[in-house]
Structure 1
Amino acid sequence: MPDNTARPKVQEQPGLMIFLGCYAIFGCAVFALSILIADFVVPDHDWIADTISDLGAGKYEFIVDIGIYAFSSALICVALLTAHVHLGGLRWSVSIVGLVALGLIVFLVGARNEYGDSDNDGVVIHRYLVYGLGFLMASLPLLMAKAAGRADPLYSKILVAISVVWVPSAPIFFFLPDAIDGVYERYLGLISFVFVITLSHLFIQRGRSQKAAKRRKEAKNASA
């Protein structure tokens, strides 16, 4: 008779960690590439003066929308990783929910199409989405820094630096002249990429370390 009282085996899956981490980095690359392509394809676009939101409206909006959805999925992948590899503490738990919310906010920014075209039909929530994104980008790196430092102190330093740079930088965007707000928005986007890539690297390295440890163990057992 099988032992129905036995608990299921719970362990981290290094292959899954590496896959999700690589996909999250890929999502950032797709978003960056979509912006670059749209900069050349969209007529009369000035990447210094015009924002990414301007690229997300009109005839060629699908180009940037693809990038936005790719970045949204990258954030969801990171959220899955933080849930799969819980590094401990209430802050880490809150961060899992925050990353899911951040991914959904980015998705809604693309799906609602309330930017760049003076769309005022129905309830316009774009501004509130931006506020939510700004708040989460300011708080999540700080919430995760201590726990991430258990893997390597460098991750903690990078995450703290992201928040320190983001907090004063993000509000400035709302007060910039239209002539330069496009390039500044790209700078803020780069900070968010660093956040995602830092966490992705943490989990990829963890997955690789576990795979290497498993191979060493198997080699040792084979030679015994």
Structure 2
Amino acid sequence: MKYQYSISGAIGIFGCFAVIATDVIGIALHEAHDPIADTISMLAIGKYGWIQDLGLDLLAVGFAGLATGLYFLKRKGTKWLISLGICLLIAVDIILIAEHNQYAGRPGFTIHRKLVYTLALLFPALLFTISAGLQKIKPFLKKFSRRVAVLWLIFAPLLPFIPDSFDGAYERLVSSLIVIWLGTVSYQLYRASGSKV
């Protein structure tokens, strides 16, 4: 059964590296894109938009992979199962964000914006509900998850108020919390394949 931990952890880690790599590649190819002033979603528009979309899709696969591995780790407990459900909802939401990036930057409460706001709510909800259960993998993951959630709740709501000339950099900084959390938990799950968990 422990091989499933290593596979799921590897999928989560791969999703993190993929979304970072596609952002860097997209910036390099998209000459008009300024990563400081332009948001991640703006990078997904145009000729090379599929690169960023692919990265987001693979990040979503990473969340789904993590949820699967954590289910094999523990298959009972209402709060735990709810947290895994939220993890899967995040995966679905990220895929929908990738597929509706053409709406990014348009005025009004677009589909894209609704999906982004949904992610902004689901992510801290996941971290608070799953944190206690993650102690089974590594004790520090409980405090780690809650601290990341607090940082998210402090900084993410400020994004709409950041000047346009800096909102790209700020969004990437805030979004890095998602990648850091997923990568850390996935790595610890991967390592659990060789432990007594």
Describe the SS at the equivalent of 1:149. helix
1:170 aligned to which of 134, 156, 169: 156
TM-score, length-scaled by structure 1: 0.82
Structure with the greater alpha carbon radius of gyration? 1
Alpha-carbon deviations, 1:194-216, whole Å to 9, x = none?
12112212311221115xx9xxx
Alignment of 1:47 onto 2:68: no
| Counterpart mapping for 1:1-80 below 5 A | 13-80=1-68
TM-score, length-scaled by structure 2: 0.93
The answer for the alignment partner of 2:81 in structure 1 is 93
Residue type at the aligned position of 1:42: H
Task: State the 4+ residue runs in structure 1 displaced beyond 6 angstroms.
Answer: none
What do you get for the CA RMSD once the two structures are aligned?
Answer: 1.9
- Aligned pairs, number: 197
Gaps of 5+ in 1: 1-12, 214-224
The answer for the alignment partner of 2:133 in structure 1 is 147
Alpha-carbon deviations, 1:124-159, whole Å to 9, x = none?
411111111011111111111111123322111110
The structure showing larger relative contact order (alpha-carbon pairs under 8 Å, at least 6 residues apart) is: 2
1:161 aligned to which of 140, 147, 150: 147
Residue type at the aligned position of 1:126: H
Alpha-carbon deviations, 1:16-68, whole Å to 9, x = none?
21011012101110110100011111022111000111100011101111101
Alignment of 1:132 onto 2:125: no
Describe the SS at the equivalent of 2:131. helix
Alignment of 1:189 onto 2:152: no
Gaps of 5+ in 2: none
Residue type at the aligned position of 1:173: L
Shift of 1:87: 7.0
The answer for the alignment partner of 2:189 in structure 1 is 203
Identity value in percent:
27
Distance verdict in 2 for CA 1:151–1:113, change over 3 Å: closer
